[in-house]
Each structure stands twice: as structure tokens, then as C-alpha cells.
Amino acid sequence: MRNRFSQKRLSQLSLQMRKTMIQMGYDCGTSAHFGGGLSMVESLAVLYDCILKYDVKNKQLADRDRFILSKGHGVLGFYAALYTFGLIGKNQIKSFQQNESEFIAHPIMDLDYGIESSNGSLGHGLSLGIGIALAARLKKKRFRTFVMLGDGECNEGSVWEAVMSAAHFKLNNLVAIVDRNKMQNDGISKDVMEFHSLERSWKSFGWDVISINGHDLKALYDSLKSEKSLSKPRVIIANTVKGRGVSFMEGVPSWHHGKLTEQTYQQAIKELNSES
């Protein structure tokens, strides 16, 4: 399912996803991870509308592209994307964080829903993506693997073991996207563990590095669509704003995981409706 780039369509899809996230987070009646899901909406919109090869009628298509959500707390954005692009339905959306639901605060692998991996602890998704990309090469398959990480997640040592391995194996069928919203659960990323240059670090390990505004739809499209390297994996450093699209959540660490009241829910919906 690949469409040509359309700024208008992708803007509308991004807005629709944000509205779905706010509705899901409110309806569940408890706290949810809003900030890190809202920051990655544009990346998901471009991926699922223009880049990923998949079939909603055949979700286990052998040659489908794989998407791995390594920053599993961004799952609200992920579920909203799966719903927007027809991979899951309204019943799944309504069951978010309800008793006995499969749709909880982190993804659970279920290929029938287009969910390629489970996630709990951070730092594992890239290693999984490398295994899938290696398997594709060995089986002479043409699909690509995309992994979404957080910048706070890049504090994990396992991420850098994976970064080194991917470059060693010259996995040009692997793309990482770092949602660099500069915040994490414990606060501002540079205060928790300062990382002086993600770009230089990934490049020094042998990756093709592209740094962009992660809310710029055209920049995202161009970086994901551009011709792949013959011998390197690619990473896109997407500079974003945590809580993007809801004014009182933007850049506020406490909305990494928070609970909407009736008042804040109405305010968020009003703001998003004004963008329509």
C-alpha cells in the first residue's frame, strides 16, 4: 500500500491519528503514554501511507515490509496508525487498556493485527530488526525492515551493540528512525544522560545518517524514499516535540505518561478540531 506523496493527505492523516490517540487515552479511564506517541505521528503517517509494503487483506504476506516499534511506550501512536490504515478495527481501539484486552500499554506481537513484535524493556527492537534483515538476505527476500527507537532509548548499551552489528553485516535493507523528542520518562534527556551528538555517533559506527525535522512530512518522505546505500544501514534522526499537537502536552515531561481529565480531554479535542 504505497501512495504518492501528498502534503494535504498526510496532514489530514496525522490529525486523524492524533484525535484517535486522545480518544483512546481518555476512554481507557487511566493513565497512558501520550507524549512519545504524539511526537512520532508524522513518521508513522509517511511510513504507512507512502513507504511500507503491506496488504491489509493479507497481513502475513511473505514479502511485506516489517515495522518494529522499539520504543514500545509510543504504542498509542502505533495503534492509531494501525487503525487509520485499516490493519485493526474499532473494537480493538475501544479495548485499549481494558481488562483482558490484547491492546495494552506496550505492543504484543500479533501478525493478524499487523504487529510484528512484542515490546516491554527498551533497547531490544533494533536487535530484533537486525535478525529479520539478516533473514531476508539469507532467504533472498526483497522486503525492508524499519525500526522506531527513542532518543532516551539510545542510552541503552544494547542499542549500540546492535548499531555496530548492523554496520558490520552491511544491512542496507534496514532503516532505523530515532524519534528525538529530547525527553524521557525521568525528564529531559540531556539532564538524565547527556548525548552530545547522535548523528556523529551513528555515523562513526558506519551508518548512513540523515537528520531532519521529524514533523516535516516532505523531509520524512524524502529521507525514507531516497535510494538506499549499497553497503550501509540507514538511520533517520527525526527531531520532534514531545506531545506534538496538544499545546499543554508539548515539551512537558509529565505527559510522557499521564491521565486526561474531562477538562483536559475537551481542551485537547478542541485544539485538534480547530486544525481540521
CA 131, 80, 176, 152 torsion: positive or negative?
A: negative
Has residue 138 been placed in a domain?
yes
Q: Are strands 174-180 and 145-150 parallel, antiparallel or unpaired?
A: parallel
Q: Does residue 238 belong to any structural domain of this protein? A: yes
Residue 86 has pLDDT above 90, yes or no: yes
Asked whether residue 151 is domain-assigned, the answer is yes
Q: 240: which 3 cell numbers? A: 520532534
Sheet of 66-69: strands edge to edge? 66-69, 145-150, 174-180, 234-239, 208-213
Mean of per-residue pLDDT scores for the chain: 95
For residues 106-111, give the mean pLDDT: 96
Specify the CATH number for the domain of residue 211.
3.40.50.970
**Burial per residue of 191-214, b for 16 or more beta-carbon CB atoms within 10 angstroms, e otherwise:** eeeeeeebeebbeebbbbbbbbeb
Residue length of the chain? 276
Domain housing 227: 7-274
Is residue 21 situated within a structural domain?
Answer: yes
Nearest CA among 151, 179, 178, 186 for reference residue 233: 178
Instruction: Quick: pLDDT tens for 193-246.
Output: 887 789 999 999 999 999 999 999 999 999 999 877 778 999 999 999 999 999
In this structure, is residue 1 part of a structural domain? no
Q: In 52-197, which ranges are continuous DSSP H helix?
A: 75-84, 90-94, 125-138, 157-168, 189-192
As for how many domains the chain has, the answer is 1
- Going by C-alpha positions, the residue among 138, 136, 155, 154 that lies closest to residue 146 is 136
In a domain, 137, yes or no: yes
Q: Would you say residue 32 lies in a domain?
A: yes
Split at pLDDT 50, 70, 90, the class of 15 is very high
pLDDT tens-digit profile of 134-159?
A: 999 999 999 999 999 999 999 999 99
Separation of alpha carbons 253 and 152, rounded Å? 12
What pLDDT is attached to residue 185? 81
Please indicate, yes or no, if residue 236 is contained in any of the structural domains: yes
The set of cell numbers assigned to 74 is 509510543
pLDDT(57) > 80: yes
